[in-house]
Structure formats: C-alpha cells, structure tokens
Amino acid sequence: MLTLDRLSCGYGSVQAAHDVSLHVTKGSIFALLGPNGAGKTSTIMAVMGHIDIQGGSILLEGADITKRRAIDRVRLGVALVPEGRQLFSDLTVDENLTVGGYAFPASSDAAKRERVFSYFPRLYERRNQMSGSLSGGEQQMLAIGRALMAEPRLLLVDELSLGLMPKMVDLCLDALLALKREGLTIVLIEQNTARALDVADQVCVLSSGLQVYQGTAAEAKAAGSMFAKFLGMGDEVAPG
Amino acid sequence: MPKHPSSAPVFIKKAALSAMFAISLLTTAAMPAKADIKIGFQVPLTGPAATDGKSAQIAGQMAVDDINAAGGVNGEKIQLVTYDDQAKSDQAIFTANKLIGEDGVKLVVNGSYSASGRAAAPVFQQAGVVMISAYGVHPDITKAGDYNFRLVHLGPPQGAATALYIGKTLGLKKISAITMDNDYGQATMDGFVGAAPKYGVEVLNKYSYSLKDRQFGSIVASVKRDNPDAVYATGYFFTAGPLVAQLRAAGITVPIIGSQAFDSEKFIEIAGPAADGTYIMDSFDRDRKDEKLQKFFSGFKEKAGYSPEGVAAITYSSFMLMADAIKRAGSAEPAKVRDALAATKNFPILEGTLNGFNSLHEIIMPISVNVIKDGKFKSAGMITDLDAFAPPEK
Amino acid sequence: MYYVDLAVTGISFGCMYAMMAVGLTLVYGLLRILHVAHAAVFALGAYVVVLVANATGSLILGFLASILITPLFGVAIYRLLYQPLLKYRPDVPMIASVGLLVLMQDAFRIVFGEQGVTFRSNPLAFTTFNLGSVTFNAVQLALVISAVVIFVGLHVFTTRTRMGIGWRATVSRPQIATSFGIDSIKVRYLNFAIGSALAAIAGGLVALLNNLVDPSIGAVVSYKALAIIVLGGLGSVRGTLIASLVLGLVEAYGTVFIGDWLDRDAIAFLALIALLMIRPQGFTGARTA
Ligand SMILES: Nc1ncnc2c1ncn2[C@@H]1O[C@H](COP(=O)(O)OP(=O)(O)OP(=O)(O)O)[C@@H](O)[C@H]1O
Ligand SMILES: [Mg+2]
C-alpha cells in the first residue's frame, strides 16, 4: 500500500528523518514507534505532504506521490488523525465531519456520517456540540471520524493513546481493528508500545531520525527486553 | 624708457581689462536691485492643507502679475519666490531660512495655516524680514514681534462679532454651540461665549468634535433636544458640510451660523440644499460692486477652474497691501516697509476697506457676513461696531 | 425621545464599524496580520460608489460597481503585498500595510482631488422617517439594515454551506484543513474578497451620510476598527460585532455627557483603554492562539 524509499525529510536545514525505507502491506496495521523527537510525526507528515522532502520517495500503491501537493493527497486516499487531534475547535462535531468529507461530493456525506456514528455513537449524541468542548476521548473519536469522512485507503494515526483513559484507548483501538478488518491500511504511531504491538502486524522503530528496528509485531514481542532497548535508546547510539 | 617698448601696451591692456572687470562687477551687482523686488511666499502645496495652498498660490501669482502689469512698484518689478511649507512648522522654519539665506528675501507673505506662520514669524523677526500672514489665525504670529502683520481677524474678535450679529442683528437668543476642537475653533468659541451675555444671547449647550469627524449623530440629537433659536458652529467646509447636512436632515430648521472657514463653494456642494439659510461670519462679500473684486473673481475662475474662496482673496489682498506699503515707504527696505504697513489707513482690499492695524499689528476692519440662498453666497450685512470686537493690543 | 435618538445614532455607528471591522477580524483570524490598509479599501469603496453613481445617475449601480471592484483591490493587496511577506514576522506585513494606506491616501488626493467628491444627487441623506418622536435618517436606517442582512447572511454562509464551513476550518487550523482538501489560498482570496465587499458597502453608506468622500475618509475608521478588533478579542467575528455596537453607543452617549471637553474619538479611546483594563482578553475571551 505505502512504500517509503530512502525517505529523508525535515524543516529547512533540520533533518527529522533520514533514509527511512519501509513497506506497509495493504489491510495491515503498521506501528511506527520510537522515543520523543525520533521523527515519527515528521515521517507521516511527509506522507501527508506537509513537510519538506529532502530525499527519497513516497509510493502509494506503486504510484510515486512524492511531488503531489498536500491538498491533492486526500483524494488519493490518505487521511490523517493528527498528533494532539487538532480538531477545528470552534466548529461543531457535525461541521468537523463535513470538513472531513470536503474533498468528496456532499451527496456521499450522509452515508459516511452514519458509518462514523456506528463506530462512535457518542459522537452522534454530541453532534451539535462545539468540538472544543468534547472530552479527550470524544475528541480522539472525532479525529478518527473526521479522517474516515475522507474515504481513506490509508489512515495515518499519530499518538492515538496520548492523554486518554485506558477505556478510551481500548475503544479507539477496537475501532482501528474493525477498520482494518474492513480492509483499511493503518499506520499507527504510539507511545504505548505494548498496546501497539498487540494490534500491529509490522513494526518499525525510529530513533533520532534513523530506522533502528524493523520486523513483525510477533518478532518484536518475542525479542522482549531486547526490543525495548531500541525504544529506550537515545542519541548515544546514533551513528554520526 | 624705450628699453621696454612693450611695457606700455601691456599696461594699457591690463588697465582696460581691470576696468572692464570692474564695470562688469558693478553692472551685475546693480542688475537685481534694478530689476526686481523679491517677495517670499510660503504656501502649503502638498499635504492636507494643499487645497487652500493651491488657491493661495494662484491668487498670489495673480496679484504679482497684476502689480507687474501695472508697472510694478517704484519702477521695479515684483519677483515671487514660492516655497511649499506643507503647513508644517518644521517645513515653515526650513523654508523661512532658505528665503532669508539663499534668496536674500526681505519681504514675505505667509499664505499658510497657523502652524506655519507661528513657526516662521520669529525667524523672520530675528532676521528683520517683514511678514504678512494672510490667514494664519494663531495669536503667537503677531506676538513674535513688530515685523509681523496679520490680515485676518483673530478667533476671539470673530466670535465676539458673531455674538453681536446673532443677538442684535438676527435677534436670536437661545443658541446651541458646536466647535471643532482645535485652537482656532476653541478660541473663536471662547470669544463668542464671552461676549454672548452682552447681547442677551444664552448658550444652551456646547459641543465639540474632532476635525477628522464627519458623523455628528449625537450632536444632532442633542441640538434637537436643546430646541434652540439658532445653531452656532465653528469648522472648516469639510466638517461644516456634513454637519449642516446632518442637522438639516434631522429636521432642524433654525438658522445656522458658521465661522469664517465655512466659506467655500465646496461647503455648498457638500451640504447641498441643506446649505441654504446658513450664515457665514467674516466671509468675503462676493457681490460688492468693486471693479477689482469682480476682475479678481473672473480672473481666478479662469485660471483655477473654480470660484475663489476667502483664502484666495485674502492672499491676493496681502500682496496688494505689501506693494502699497513698499510704494508708500518709497523703498523695499524692510524697516521702512514695516513702518509703512503699520501706518496703513483705509486701504481698499478685496474684502472691503482695511481701517488699519493696531499696536499688535492685528487688523482693524469691519466683518462682513454672508448667507447662503439658493446655493449662492449673498451678502447679509456688515458688522461695523469695531469696538465690539477689538483685537488684543500689544 | 432624546435617549432613543442617541441610541439610533449609536447603533447606526456601531453597524458601520462592524461592517468595516469584520474585514480586519477575518484577515487577522486567518493570517495574524493587522490589515491596516483595509481603511484604504473602505475609502476606495466609497470613491467607487460616488464616482459611478455620479457617472451613471444610479446609486444602485454605484454600489454594485463598488461591491465588484473593491474586492478585487482587497484580493490584490493580499496577493501582491501580504503573500510575499508572509514568511517574515507579522509586523513586516503590517508595516507594509500602513505604508500602503498612506500611499493610497495620497493617491486618492492626487487622482480625485484634495477637496473630495460629493454626490451629484443625494436625496437619501436628507430623507428622514419619524417613528413617534424618534427620527431616523434614511442612511442610518440603511446602515442598520445592511449590517443585519450582511451578518445574518454571513452567519448562514459560514454555518450552512460547505464552503463557509471550510473557511472557518481554515481559520481554525490551516494545515489540517489542507489535509482534507481545502485550498487555503482560495480561502484567503475569499476572505479578502468578502471583507473588502463589506468595507465597500460601509464606505458607500458613510459617503452618503457625509455627502463627501475625501482622501482621509478611511483614516478615522481605520484606527477605530483596530481598537474594535482588539476589544472584540482579535479574530472573533462575534466579539467584533459586540465591540462595534458598544463603541457606537459609548460614542453616541459619551459625546453628549462629556462632549463639551472631549470629542468623539477621544471618548472612544478612553472607553477602549478602560475596557481593556477591565477585560484584557476582550469581550469574547481568550481566542488569541
Ligand atoms: N516545525 C518544526 N521545525 C523544526 N524542527 C522540528 C519541527 N517539528 C519537529 N522538529 C524536530 O524534528 C525532530 C523530529 O520531530 P517529530 O515531531 O517528528 O518527532 P516524534 O517522533 O513525532 O516525537 P514525539 O514522540 O515527541 O511526538 C525533532 O528533533 C524535532 O525537534
Ligand atoms: Mg510526534
């Protein structure tokens, strides 16, 4: 589904990710892990088209989208659940969903909305409420719902569990698993490694912008503390 | 002696050369004195005062052309040296120094606003240069010293004359007073309020507005509540136009009496039909049967494309007065011109007859009043009781 | 009814300020620029109304022309002045904006004359309605009606249409809005076009009320509008509306009670300073992020 080929990206002269190569298979959940500042967010923002690509390429189902404008990527089937949710806080729940489906005909809105509400009935109850006044969990549901309105083939989820109660994390992860069963491909960035390995098929660990581990979730789990070391690793390991 | 046969011719040649040089020196030195009397002229040609500045400039040039066409003064032509002072004090001081230092000017007409005249007056005083301020109304202008003259009434005398006119001539007693909140407006209003009781005029309420304002809704509402016999307002045409229009639009039909700076065709244009019935104090009488005035009127209109307003007329008059003073002094020497100006008696200017100057070199002259009828300025009499609005003395 | 008369005056001022200031609020909300040159847009709007109305004899054509031409100017300001400067600190485009305002004032002076232009025929300014003992001027009424129609329309547009919702989303989070396919450049154009059209209407109505458009027509409203958007809590349209009405009323009543020694502008700024001391975050709270 998604292939990154020696992708380097960053901000001006700062390089946030260096030579990242990975492949996400269709219909799988791919966990992108790593310590703070590792370059996870930067990598998926590069896929979304929001930061400078300094080298390498991004392929979506074999098609090179490296040079496509951010605004066009949603129509190619990529949707984002951004870090910290980033809802349109002075828009209502309904309006946030409308924006989610902005790139697609209004006529398809109603059906998609139904689908979102079927995953997250809470949102239906709150549909006329300002999104800024939702609880953290509800906000995360809305962020996912908003992305679903964009009819994605590839869903990029950044820090799903951040600041959520365990119950809410369960609910959201269940939703992601259900979506996966429906054939959606998901890249998931998570701080909670255990939960991520539970749901993921493949894992990649970034550290200081470099890819330090890649494998299946089962392998990672089996490696146990060895694997945990990668996540704990700081700058001292980073080669030059 | 013949040992040096060539020496005599060389000597003669040298003598001839130096004689020629000396003559040429003499003639060049004599040339400007014979040809021209320079009169410096400060006008705001750019910036927000440029409207009045343009009119003043056209009028000033007309005056000089008329003087020169009539043979000049004392056999000499007038040469106009004009500078743009932007109606700003720094620019006024800069151009004043330029006039004195570079151009060697000894006589000046300041055809600009108070800020300019007030800043330039001490500079000219120091240099012993005569200045007539055509329409600068700040008291400091004449206070700078005896070389400075003013050809327009100060605010307080104008205000006092207004009280007389409203109370005695129009017989109106209850007044709502509206003033623009600059020095001139306030001073004029103070003169009015001070003199009002003498003529049985009662000021019901006083309102002030900023010169930048064009919306007078609350003042209009308040005047309506006052229900006065008349409204007295100080202002410029660009505030007066909207003010009068808005007063009339609210159904206020009593006479409106405006200060001198209402005097502009543009006022009538802005206020439209609402302008009718507005009295304008110290406004020059356009209908006066005076050949010079009518000639000035048509000449100005031809040159400028619009009718002259008060500013243009008074600037023209300033040059005429200066020329007359040079003539009476028999010289363009500033001290003599100053004394001649101070001794002016019953000199006819476009506005009427100038009685003369007082000890502070403020004008003594009746005030004429216009009223607007059918969109035209019409004379509404003359206030001749000079004691009622005597300017301050030295 | 004196106090009702004053209220009419204050509300009509307030409506005028609102139509003028909302353009500033929209630009600030989207780009974080103090769009000082909006005053020049307002002035241009006024000039176009007068000139076209005088040329064609139709006031309606004057307004139509202004509503079409003025937004082009507003959009051009964004495209040619702000966009190239967006990469710098926000005070850079603001200084450029001040420069443009000064330049435009001089341009108006040079092109249309120092003395300003007046309507050849302006019956509206002299038409009044009486409701009991309260007098309405036709232009005051037009100011209020336009403001109500415009703000109701704007509300419907921004809450009921996809484009309007997308616009608000862009104001809220430009980058995320782009992720969902909203063209933020088009939103900026739309933003400047709508703000400028509103300023054009306000300018035209003020021109009618004063029966005069002079080069400085925008100057006063410009700094008042800046005061209003600060009071309104920078970037909040609702706050701008409230602040506009409050300022209009404060001016109307203030002129009467302390008008003998302070003029309307001074009163307005005293009120602004006082209100900001009580509520530094403006009327609508802390939306300044
Ligand atoms: N807007 C930016 N400008 C410059 N540098 C940035 C910017 N955003 C992030 N960086 C830098 O890029 C590097 C990678 O940041 P990124 O946000 O991708 O990390 P992350 O793995 O998502 O971390 P976290 O777990 O804290 O979210 C960091 O060193 C960070 O300081
Ligand atoms: Mg991150």
Task: For residue A240, name the pLDDT band (cuts at 50, 70, 90).
Answer: very low
pLDDT value of position C41: 96
According to CATH, what is the number of the domain B156-286+371-389? 3.40.50.2300
More confident residue, A91 or C288: A91
The Cβ of residue C153 has, within 10 Å, a number of other Cβ atoms equal to: 10
Minimum mean pLDDT among B101-105, B129-133, B369-373, C109-113: which range?
C109-113
CA B248 to chain centre: 31
Interface residue of B46, B204, B214, B276 to substitute, partner C, most C CBs within 10 Å: B214
Instruction: Judge whether residue B19 has pLDDT over 90.
Output: no
pTM: 0.82
Specify whether the CB–CB gap between C105 and C218 falls below 8 A: yes
Task: For residue A237, name the pLDDT band (cuts at 50, 70, 90).
Answer: very low
Candidate of A4, A15, A42, A52 to mutate for ligand 1, largest count of ligand atoms within 8 Å of Cβ: A42
Specify whether the CB–CB gap between C232 and C240 falls below 8 A: yes
Q: What's the pLDDT tens digit per position in B175-218? A: 999 999 888 899 999 999 999 999 999 999 999 888 888 888 88
pLDDT value of position C286: 45
pLDDT value of position B21: 55
Task: For residue B27, name the pLDDT band (cuts at 50, 70, 90).
Answer: very low
pLDDT value of position C288: 37
Q: What's the pLDDT tens digit per position in B251-294? A: 899 999 999 989 888 899 999 999 999 999 998 888 888 899 99
Q: What's the pLDDT tens digit per position in C115-128? A: 789 999 888 888 88
Question: Where do the H-state alpha helices sit in C161-235?
Answer: 162-172, 174-179, 184-210, 217-231
- Amino acid letter, residue C51: L
List Cβ neighbours of C83 (8 Å cut-off, separation of 6 or more).
C188
The Cβ of residue C221 has, within 10 Å, a number of other Cβ atoms equal to: 25
Residue located nearest, by CA, to atom 27 of ligand 1: A36
pLDDT value of position C285: 54
Question: Where do the H-state alpha helices sit in B170-290?
Answer: 183-195, 217-226, 237-249, 265-271
Please tell me if residue B227 touches chain C, with a CB cutoff of 8 Å: no
N-terminal to C-terminal alpha carbon distance within chain A:
32
| Residue-averaged pLDDT of chain B | 89
More confident residue, C15 or C253: C15
Task: Work out the minimum CA distance from C154 to partner chain A, whole angstroms.
Answer: 15
Ligand 1 pocket residue status of A161, Cβ below 6 Å: no
3-state secondary structure of A34: coil
Please tell me if residue A210 touches chain C, with a CB cutoff of 8 Å: no
Q: What's the pLDDT tens digit per position in C181-225? A: 999 999 999 999 999 999 999 999 999 998 999 888 888 777 888
pLDDT (average), residues C27-38: 90
Q: Of B112, B154, B152, B150, which is closest to residue B132 (Cα–Cα)?
A: B150
Ligand 1 pocket residue status of A50, Cβ below 6 Å: no
Instruction: Judge whether residue C16 has pLDDT over 90.
Output: yes
pLDDT (average), residues A188-197: 91
pLDDT value of position B37: 94
CB contact under 8 A, A88 and C172: yes
C147: Cα within 13 Å, side-chain hemisphere = 27
Task: Work out the minimum CA distance from C206 to partner chain A, whole angstroms.
Answer: 33
Residues of chain B with CATH 3.40.50.2300: 37-154+288-365, 156-286+371-389
CB contact under 8 A, B222 and C2: yes
pLDDT (average), residues A162-183: 93
Q: What's the pLDDT tens digit per position in B93-117? A: 999 999 999 999 999 999 998 889 9
β strands within chain C, DSSP E: 128-131, 134-137
Element (H, E) at C175: helix C174-179
- Amino acid letter, residue A86: Q
pLDDT value of position B249: 87
CA B79 to chain centre: 20
Tokens at C262, concatenated: 């302070």
The domain limits of chain A are 1-77+153-160+183-240, 84-151
Among candidates C6, C260, C263 on the partner chain, residue whose Cβ is nearest the Cβ of B221 = C6
3-state secondary structure of B186: helix
Chain C residues close to B241, C-beta within 8 Å: 118, 210-212
Q: What's the pLDDT tens digit per position in B299-330? A: 999 999 988 988 999 999 999 999 999 999 99
CA dist B153 and B364 (Å) reads 8
pLDDT value of position B285: 85
Query: Ligand 2: distance of its center to the CA of A66 in Å?
Result: 21
Which chains are within 8 Å of B by 3+ CB pairs? C
Q: What's the pLDDT tens digit per position in B232-254? A: 999 998 899 999 999 998 889 99
Specify whether the CB–CB gap between C38 and C193 falls below 8 A: no
pLDDT (average), residues B35-60: 90
Topology annotation, domain B37-154+288-365? Rossmann fold (3.40.50)
* Partner residues linked to B85 by β-bridges: none
Instruction: Judge whether residue C19 has pLDDT over 90.
Output: yes
Please tell me if residue B224 touches chain C, with a CB cutoff of 8 Å: yes
Instruction: Judge whether residue C267 has pLDDT over 80.
Output: no
According to CATH, what is the number of the domain A1-77+153-160+183-240? 3.40.50.300
pLDDT value of position B29: 44
pLDDT value of position B16: 54
pLDDT > 90: percent of chain C: 57
Which chains are within 8 Å of A by 3+ CB pairs? C
Write down all domains in chain C, each with its CATH number in brackets: 2-278 (1.10.3470)
The Cβ of residue C161 has, within 10 Å, a number of other Cβ atoms equal to: 13
Task: For residue C250, name the pLDDT band (cuts at 50, 70, 90).
Answer: confident
Task: Work out the minimum CA distance from C161 to partner chain A, whole angstroms.
Answer: 10
